[in-house]
Amino acid sequence: MRKITLPNGLRIVTVPQKSTKTVTVLVLVGTGSKYENKTVSGISHFLEHMFFKGTTKRPTHLEISESLDQVGGVFNAFTGEDITMYFAKVDSRHLSLAIDWVSDIFLNSKLPKGEIEREKGVVIEEMNMYKDMPGSHVQNLWRRLLYGDQPAGWDIIGTRESILNISRKSLIDYVSHQYVASNTVVCVAGNITTKEVENIIKTKFKGMPTTPFMQKPEVIDHQDTPGVLLEYRKTDQTHIMLGARGYNLFHKKRYTQSVLAVLLGGMMSSRMFVEIREKLGLAYSISTAAEADPDVGFFVTQAGLQNENVEKAIGTILKEYKKVSTSLVSPDELKKAKENMKGKMALTLESSNEQTMFYGLQEILQKDIYLPEKIYDKIDVVSRKDIKALAKELFVPEKINLAVLGPFQDTKKLRKLLRI
């Protein structure tokens, strides 16, 4: 792996992989929904859509897609709270095409007014689609519960009203403020020669703006009592997210938090999976995750349940939270969680696209890159006492939260269950 920073501030990360025949080009920009205001909430994601609508070189969406379709390439883009990403993955013989394509949509999109108006309908339908997917929508409820009416608590996709309010001028203003060299990382992984890649990128991205980029507002992350958010729906299955405020990307306990999540609900032999699915038969889908953003973090268990099993499942999840905060986990269980994390990372990093995500996300979010071996070391030093101490800090009433999507309306009743 090699990283360089160009005079204009653009960072280039290259990861040669001689074991693959593919190459992935990923461009990351340090902006997302946390950088938006309420009037144009969702503009980061909307802009991602618009970058596929035509450039000077490839004037239509058909020419954009055909450029890579004709070589069997895979391409897409993603928007998050803190980042937006654009990528192309191709046979390594087509490296130059992939870099040209990604740089073209990233730097030269025309943002035609007619396409903007047409795409508003597309995005609103995407919004409706996700609302009809309870396993996805409950995740929006969870962030809304934690962070409320501030950018961190808004849906990444925006609202119907904010999408309709987006104009060509607002898109151009947003690009000029955020899509600048010092806020951008280009990561290329696969069967590549580093010097060749760097030379092509230097040429393709040389005209990037060098103006300062807009910073996001500080997230208000405070809680005194257990939090509950219900969205009533007459459904046969209830989706819940139950967990606590946790630690951010830069916190020293971040890796302990990750190990705890795997131990509790990150494997088919984890505690939540065994208790809730295998022993009690309460859920088909059950998992626990630790999310560490640059500014905030959380720890949460998500499940899809029969309506009549919701209270029992909540009690069981809290029981497992309590158990790990009062008793040391066994050496074997801790070792299993650690080896699971390291093994999954090794398997994931076999592909060029995952390599770009692994290295590119580290650089754009924390401006520092850890090689896998260093992450393994940080995982390995987590002790049984660390796990217990962290669980004691996390699983207390003033940090506990519950988001529910299903046929429930009694917030007080559910709040009473959140005793731990």
State the first-to-last Cα distance of the chain, in angstroms, to the nearest integer: 46
Q: What is the 3-state secondary structure (H, E, C) of 154-189?
A: CCCCCCHHHHHCCCHHHHHHHHHHHCCHHHEEEEEE
| 318-334: pLDDT as tens digits | 999 999 999 999 999 99
pLDDT at 156 over 90: yes
The helix/strand/coil state of 274 is: helix
What average pLDDT does range 107-133 have in this prediction? Answer: 97
| 76-95: pLDDT as tens digits | 999 999 999 999 999 999 99
Phi, psi of 189, rounded to the nearest 5 degrees:
-135, 155
**Percent of the chain scored above 70 by pLDDT?**
100
| 49-61: pLDDT as tens digits | 999 999 999 999 9
pLDDT at residue 189, as a whole number: 98
Q: What is the CATH number of domain 227-417?
A: 3.30.830.10
| 14-42: pLDDT as tens digits | 999 999 999 999 999 999 999 999 999 99
Do 2-204 and 227-417 come out as alike in CATH topology? yes
pLDDT at 102 over 90: yes
Distance CA 199, CA 195 (A): 6
Spell out the CATH class of 2-204: alpha beta
What mean pLDDT, rounded, does the chain reach?
97
What average pLDDT does range 278-290 have in this prediction? Answer: 97
Distance CA 389, CA 410 (A): 33
Spans of all domains in the chain: 2-204, 227-417
pLDDT at residue 207, as a whole number: 87
419 pLDDT tier (thresholds 50, 70, 90): confident
What average pLDDT does range 157-172 have in this prediction? Answer: 98
Distance CA 75, CA 77 (A): 7
3-state DSSP helix/strand/coil % of the chain, to nearest 5: 50, 20, 30
